[in-house]
Structure 1
Amino acid sequence: MLALLFFLSVPALAYESYSLADTFIGRDFLGWEWYNGSDPTHGTVNYVDQNTAVNLNLSVASNTSFLMRADYRELVPPAESGRKSVRISSPLAYSDSVMVLDLWHMPTGCGTWPAWWTVSQAGPWPQGGEIDIIEGVNKNTQNLGSLHTTPNCNMTQTRNQRGQTVSTTCDASFNYNQGCGVDFKPDSYGPGFNEGGGGWYAMQRSSCGIYMWFWARNDTTVPIEVSQGLSTVNPDPRNWGTPDAAFPTDECDYASHFNAHSIIFDLTFCGDWAGSPSAWTDCGPSSCSDFVRNNPSNFTEAYWEIAALRVYTQDPDV
């Protein structure tokens, strides 16, 4: 009884609710901006515009899902920069928010480098920061969540998260833009994720820090507000569980490193990460670029299939 009275006398932690501001399902993604410039990460890719993507069935939108994929039918002509693919970004930018992605399938396979990420709309990069929520290459099976920033943003090695710290310096000029990254649990990325029917990813950003969660499709602990896409969410760890990746603001001033971000989905190939010697080791013997150009049938699994993306803010009218 005394223990109960003591517990009741301790003030509850104040976790704030967020209200649904924007929902993107199926054809809603056709209103996003389609990038068809050169790849900043030097990939063997040819990003196509919306008309080309739709006409070639690289993008398919229905009432219930949105699919964007790489070409898996043609050899890449020598004159082209790489395999045809899609990169889209949201026209709106968001600051403090919670983003919840209901995802059925992510691109996988040797040569692939897909990402769901947010980046400063004002820029120029890395000013305003970059947040990578889903990212991996080639045969990876664990998702990498990371931040890339201007100088003087660091993380401690040990913090309250389920994932394993990979790097602690977020400064994009350090160690070839490695960023400060956290590995998630197995099958949070790649074939295991897809074979399990996908799942949900969530990212919260506020002045307290940036936090990421992952729940597999069959995970019985997924919060109902996440799985059902309810009109409000409250990322209280007592209900959502310990985040897979935590980036608190202890050694990284939030306001000076992060501003309003656009949301991006892309799929590139090879480039600075997937094509690097250390990442490509398990996929040889040809070079990554030659593999991507000459083996279209290896890219049948190189696609995103999105059930829904929901963005929650504390003032849905902004």
Structure 2
Amino acid sequence: ESLPPDGWELVKKGSAGHYYNRYVGPGQLRAQSIREAWKVHEMDCRLSTDGDDGNGDGGDGSGDDGGGSELEEQQSCSMRERQAEPPPLILSKDVAAEMQAAGLDTSPSHEPPFDQVKLPAAGTLVEVRMLDDGLLGSRYPASVIDWEVRYPGEGGGGEARALVEYQGLYASDKAEGIKLREWVALPQLHLPPAAHCADESDWLGSLALRSPLELFHEGGWWPVLLTGRQAAGVVVYLVEAIGYGVERQVIASQLRPTSCGLSSSKVAPAAPATTNLGCGQATGRPGAVAGAGSRTSSRARVTSERALSSCETW
């Protein structure tokens, strides 16, 4: 019994410097060792066989030895622990096209900071590359809580992912203060960029119009284009959200250089200065943002509420 039963897979997990193995079988059955996996597997097979005999009068568990209740409890617990599958590592075609038009590289990093060998330690600060509709292109700061590597049977390559807690996304009402946690694939994790020069005149003052930047907006960093400057006591910058067609007035402390690689060395042409819109007023195509709020992942409610909030405030 050196190998787990058919359909079971090895999951390597780690938390706060502790490393351990778990085995996961069909129906999210779980075991802590190969021997336990075989016991659970055989118990499941016996229960399945008993349930098929006669007229089904043995299915209520009243005449068994208690194994069914134990299995049901384990299955119920495992369903509560079941994690969402990571979304595909691609951007929406519309957002990706506009990012590429701005000279930004939208492909995943060729040298990601983490993989099945270089696993993130608990407490590591990262930025998660968001892939949900309504959040596409943004990066949200988070900290690593846990990690795991799933292996399909013995040997072969593993699929690594990390459990993260977001600094600016919440599992329910923000007033309750419960921060959102979720499992994400390691290629979505990026190290925060190095701090840039605090003197805005050293980099923002000489930056050409239509140059890509990132704006800190509602807990995450969003790709934007510089579209204008205005000085009225405090220098205000006009930026346009890439892929969402919405323009805002912001101050220097809300901006940072782009963390996406530039896909070409071509300098974007300068744009004419935009008109004064009034701080926080949005123009462009807000309906395009509102139309990007659908969700298909298991965290649909949380992210859809976040997307609607983003639509209203962009």
TM tier, shorter chain? under 0.3
Give the structure-2-normalised TM-score: 0.24
After TM superposition, the score normalised by the length of structure 1 is: 0.23
Indicate the structure (1 or 2) with the bigger Cα radius of gyration.
2
Whichever structure has more strand as a proportion of its residues is 1
Higher helix share: 2
Higher relative CO (Cα under 8 Å, sequence separation at least 6) belongs to: 1
